């Protein structure tokens, strides 16, 4: 009876917090109407979505992609080219970018997912440079190194220019979070976690590992591509060196790792903590490379000291506290917390 | 397309390929001995290029002399990185080491940017900007110096691995760490020295980079992608395979450069990488890691 009511309270707190956060997120552009703060808000929500998308693959399957900026860039270029060269409706093209990058990721995944561990990292790294060379070389389509300028969104004042993009990224974030949550509860998600544990054993037990990995890869890439599509319409400009740089991909990894790859909200939390700080550093010391050094040091520190990330670490610390205080039932609590640590979508 | 031009391209390709050999030998050695993909390898190349450039332009020290400082320093740094950082990783070592070396690469890149800004630099010494001709083929001095330096370093590394007790222990560690440690080889020490050696070759390689190519803090990403493609082609962990693959890629790149375009010359690395993964996922030189060398 007692544990039942405790659970009810827990559930109430959980949903209450979630509701409060959603309300805050929706009200943000009017709570902070300053254009710069709105800009930082868009940037933050963008990276929250990107980091969660990256984690859809990495957190579930354990495959670390160093080259997700390639999908971001392809999505951005697809949208940009469709708007500039073919005069298509922008936000429809943003959605189409998701499909296009998804198809692109099927081809890339078919090739890249033949490899594991280290070789997979190498392939994803190379992918960024393939796309960079293509974007530079295919001048007729991409504008080459001088880039591509897009028309700005019409009928909106300078003050409110960031607002539609804020909500576009917020929708993306919600969709990615929902997908991750849903996968975490499905048989498909169990299969992915089995792949992370031991791919050969998972295959031997009848998990269609190739297909599962490919689906996770395509979803992860497709959402990242949509992020790129929104980004390009927001910035109204795209050039190869910015989108096809390792930096964007590394940022996603850093954020996901900081918050915790084994949790649903971890990557988003990581982005929420890091993006405002990074934007501040760029604003204050942008001409120096201080933010790059700090990014590197922070990534190193997380790997060495907090490899699980914030949320899973807090969770296991809480579980330990709980088991220490309630003595006899510790064994049961521990198993439960281990299980929670297993899946991403919880 | 005359045969003379083609011959010239092949000669330049061999010179470039020799340098790639040294760069990828160090990287593949580190992979072999620890199963660590050192994403920071090219960042160390660029760091060494900057150090030699600084020593030359600010202190007036000949770049070749600065090697006497950078090579031992890089060796020590390598041993320290292995002992203090990499050896302490517990879970998911392959992935965590990738992220750790990525962190190193970014830290180096940012520090170089803070110290010397993002401008392009190059080491230009009096004897490196000329060229000489032999049988109608032109040999640029900087590339010849680079090739000779790379060949000497590679030869020294190869002899060390092949013909010393340490090399034997290192090869044993690469083939089977557990069995090697049962036979009394201190595998953790060996791994530390292996990482140190890999970075020591990067000190020489970085000087060559600085002599031949312009560089800026973020150049390392483009280089690491290329030498990664080379070591996959050569079979991860195989020093000989990496050297042969590097020579081959140097020649192919150079020929594509004169026959097609610079874009295709860059692209060819990744096309070959993709082809290797489709047809020979373990590379073209040797099968399992244990059998390479």
pLDDT tens for each residue of B187-234 = 888 889 999 999 999 999 999 998 888 899 988 988 998 998 898 888
Compute the distance between CA of residue A174 and CA of residue A172 in angstroms, rounded to an integer. Answer: 5
CA atoms within 13 A on the CB side of A340: 18
Compute the distance between CA of residue B92 and CA of residue B114 in angstroms, rounded to an integer. Answer: 33
Q: Which pLDDT value is given to residue A307?
A: 86
Confidence at A103, pLDDT banded by 50, 70, 90: very high
Residue B30 in any domain: the answer is yes
CB A136 within 8 A of CB B264: no
pLDDT digits (tens, 9 = 90+) for A29-79: 888 888 888 889 999 999 999 999 999 998 888 888 988 999 999 999 999
Compute the distance between CA of residue A98 and CA of residue A225 in angstroms, rounded to an integer. Answer: 5
Residue A241 in any domain: the answer is yes
Of residues B95, B273, B277, nearest to A62 (C-beta)? B95
Residue A14 in any domain: the answer is no
Residue A7 in any domain: the answer is no
User: From the CA of A281, how many Å to the nearest CA of chain B?
Assistant: 13
Query: What mean pLDDT is reported for chain A?
Result: 85
CA atoms within 13 A on the CB side of A129: 27
What's phi and psi for A286, nearest 5 deg?
A: -55, -35
For residues A256-277, average pLDDT: 91
CB B43 within 8 A of CB B219: no
Compute the distance between CA of residue A16 and CA of residue A3 in angstroms, rounded to an integer. Answer: 20
β-bridge partners, B140: B131
Residue A5 in any domain: the answer is no
- Reading the block at residue A101, the tokens are 């990058």
For residue A260, the SS3 value is coil
DSSP for residue B121: B
- Reading the block at residue A253, the tokens are 């990894």
User: From the CA of B72, how many Å to the nearest CA of chain A?
Assistant: 24
Number of A–B residue contacts, CB under 8 Å: 137
Distance, CA of B201 to chain centre = 7
- Reading the block at residue A258, the tokens are 């900081």
Task: Find all residues with CB under 8 Å of B98, minimum gap 6, and list them.
Answer: A64, A66, A118, A121, B36, B37, B39
Residue B133 in any domain: the answer is yes
Residue A332 in any domain: the answer is yes
User: Which CATH number covers residue B78?
Assistant: 1.10.3470
Q: Which pLDDT value is given to residue A343?
A: 56
Compute the distance between CA of residue B279 and CA of residue B272 in angstroms, rounded to an integer. Answer: 10
Domain housing B197: 3-117+127-291
B104·A297 Cβ contact <8 A: no
User: Which CATH number covers residue A95?
Assistant: 1.10.3470
A64·B99 Cβ contact <8 A: yes
B104·A300 Cβ contact <8 A: yes
Q: Which of B43, B95, B105, B221 to mutate to test the interface with A (most CBs of A within 10 A)?
A: B95
Strands B131-134 and B137-140 come out as antiparallel
Cβ burial of B230 (10 Å; 0-12, 13-18, 19+) is: buried
Number of H helices and E strands in chain B, helices first, is: 11, 2
Question: How many separate domains does chain A show?
Answer: 1
CB A124 within 8 A of CB A70: yes
- Reading the block at residue B241, the tokens are 């395979």
Compute the distance between CA of residue B159 and CA of residue A9 in angstroms, rounded to an integer. Answer: 70
Q: Which pLDDT value is given to residue A102?
A: 94
B110·A66 Cβ contact <8 A: no
Cβ burial of B87 (10 Å; 0-12, 13-18, 19+) is: middle
pLDDT digits (tens, 9 = 90+) for A231-246: 998 888 888 888 888 8
Residue of B nearest to A135 (CA): B263
CB A248 within 8 A of CB A254: no
Give CA torsion, residues B44, B45, B50, B52, to 10 deg: 110
Total count of residues recorded for chain A: 346
CB B52 within 8 A of CB B113: no
Query: What mean pLDDT is reported for chain B?
Result: 86
Q: Which pLDDT value is given to residue A3?
A: 59
CB B125 within 8 A of CB B64: no
Of residues A125, A128, A133, nearest to B266 (C-beta)? A133
Instruction: Provide the angle, in degrees to the nearest 10, between the axes of the packed helices A246-259 and A310-326.
Output: 10
Residues of A with CB under 8 A from a CB of B: 62, 64, 66, 111-112, 114-115, 117-119, 121-123, 125-130, 133-134, 136-137, 245-246, 250, 253, 257, 288-300, 303-304, 307
Confidence at B285, pLDDT banded by 50, 70, 90: low
Domain housing A60: 31-342
Q: Give the angle B112-B116-B117 at the CA atoms, nearest 5°.
A: 90
CB A344 within 8 A of CB A256: no
Compute the distance between CA of residue B186 and CA of residue A280 in angstroms, rounded to an integer. Answer: 48
User: From the CA of A253, how many Å to the nearest CA of chain B?
Assistant: 9
Question: How many separate domains does chain B show?
Answer: 1
Percentage of chain A with pLDDT > 70? 92
Q: Which of B27, B92, B102 to mutate to test the interface with A (most CBs of A within 10 A)?
A: B102
Residue B122 in any domain: the answer is no
Compute the distance between CA of residue B160 and CA of residue B201 in angstroms, rounded to an integer. Answer: 13
CA-wise closest residue to B65 among B204, B198, B216: B204
Beta-strand runs (E) in chain B: 131-134, 137-140
- Reading the block at residue B96, the tokens are 């965590």
A134: chain B residues, CB-CB within 8 Å: 267
């Amino acid at each position: 009876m007692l544990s039942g009511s405790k659970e009810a309270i827990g559930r109430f707190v959980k949903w209450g917090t979630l509701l409060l956060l959603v309300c805050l997120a929706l009200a943000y552009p009017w709570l902070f109407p300053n254009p710069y703060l709105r800009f930082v808000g868009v940037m933050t929500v963008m990276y929250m979505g990107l980091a969660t998308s990256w984690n859809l693959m990495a957190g579930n399957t354990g495959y670390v992609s160093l080259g997700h900026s390639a999908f971001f860039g392809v999505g951005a270029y697809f949208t940009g080219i469709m708007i500039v060269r073919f005069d298509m409706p922008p936000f429809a093209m943003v959605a189409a970018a998701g499909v296009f990058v998804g198809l692109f990721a099927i081809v890339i995944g078919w090739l890249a997912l033949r490899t594991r561990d280290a070789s997979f990292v190498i392939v994803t790294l190379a992918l960024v440079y393939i796309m960079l060379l293509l974007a530079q070389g295919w001048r007729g389509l991409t504008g080459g190194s001088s880039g591509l300028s897009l028309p700005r969104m019409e009928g909106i004042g300078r003050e409110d220019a960031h607002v539609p993009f804020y909500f576009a990224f917020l929708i993306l974030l919600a969709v990615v979070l929902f997908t991750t949550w849903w996968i975490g509860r499905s048989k498909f998600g169990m299969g992915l976690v089995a792949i992370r544990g031991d791919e050969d054993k998972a295959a031997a037990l009848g998990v269609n590992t190739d297909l599962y990995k490919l689906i996770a890869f395509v979803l992860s890439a497709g959402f990242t591509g949509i992020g790129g599509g929104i980004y390009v319409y927001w910035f109204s400009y795209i050039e190869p060196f910015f989108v096809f740089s390792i930096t964007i991909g590394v940022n996603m990894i850093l954020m996901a790792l900081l918050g915790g790859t084994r949790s649903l909200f971890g990557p988003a939390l990581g982005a929420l903590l890091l993006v405002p700080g990074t934007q501040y550093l760029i604003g204050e010391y942008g001409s120096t490379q201080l933010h790059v050094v700090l990014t590197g040091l922070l990534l190193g520190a997380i790997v060495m000291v907090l490899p699980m990330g914030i949320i899973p670490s807090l969770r296991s610390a809480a579980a330990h506290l709980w088991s220490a205080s309630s003595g006899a039932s510790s064994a049961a609590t521990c198993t439960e917390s281990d299980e929670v640590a297993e899946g991403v979508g919880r | 397309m005359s045969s003379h031009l083609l011959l010239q391209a092949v000669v330049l390709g061999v010179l470039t390929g020799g340098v790639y050999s040294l760069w990828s030998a160090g990287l593949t050695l580190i992979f072999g001995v620890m199963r660590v993909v050192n994403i920071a390898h090219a960042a160390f190349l660029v760091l060494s290029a900057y150090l030699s450039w600084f020593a030359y332009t600010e202190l007036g020290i000949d770049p070749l002399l600065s090697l006497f400082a950078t090579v031992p320093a890089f060796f020590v740094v390598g041993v320290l990185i292995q002992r203090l950082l990499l050896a302490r990783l517990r879970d998911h070592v392959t992935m965590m080491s990738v992220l750790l070396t990525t962190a190193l690469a970014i830290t180096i890149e940012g520090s170089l940017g803070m110290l010397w800004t993002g401008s392009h630099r190059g080491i230009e010494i009096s004897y490196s900007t000329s060229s000489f001709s032999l049988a109608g083929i032109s040999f640029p001095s900087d590339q010849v110096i680079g090739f000779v330096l790379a060949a000497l370093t590679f030869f020294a590394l190869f002899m060390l691995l092949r013909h010393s007790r340490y090399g034997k222990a290192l090869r044993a560690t690469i083939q089977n760490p557990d069995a090697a440690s049962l036979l009394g080889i201190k595998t953790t020490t060996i791994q530390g020295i292996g990482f140190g050696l890999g970075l020591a070759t990067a000190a020489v390689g970085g000087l060559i980079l600085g002599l031949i190519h312009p560089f800026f803090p973020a150049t390392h990403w483009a280089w690491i992608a290329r030498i990664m493609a080379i070591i996959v082609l050569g079979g991860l962990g195989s020093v000989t395979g990496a050297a042969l693959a590097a020579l081959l890629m140097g020649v192919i790149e150079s020929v594509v450069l004169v026959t097609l375009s610079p874009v295709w010359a860059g692209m060819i690395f990744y096309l070959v990488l993709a082809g290797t993964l489709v047809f020979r996922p373990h590379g073209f030189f040797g099968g399992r890691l244990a059998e390479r060398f």
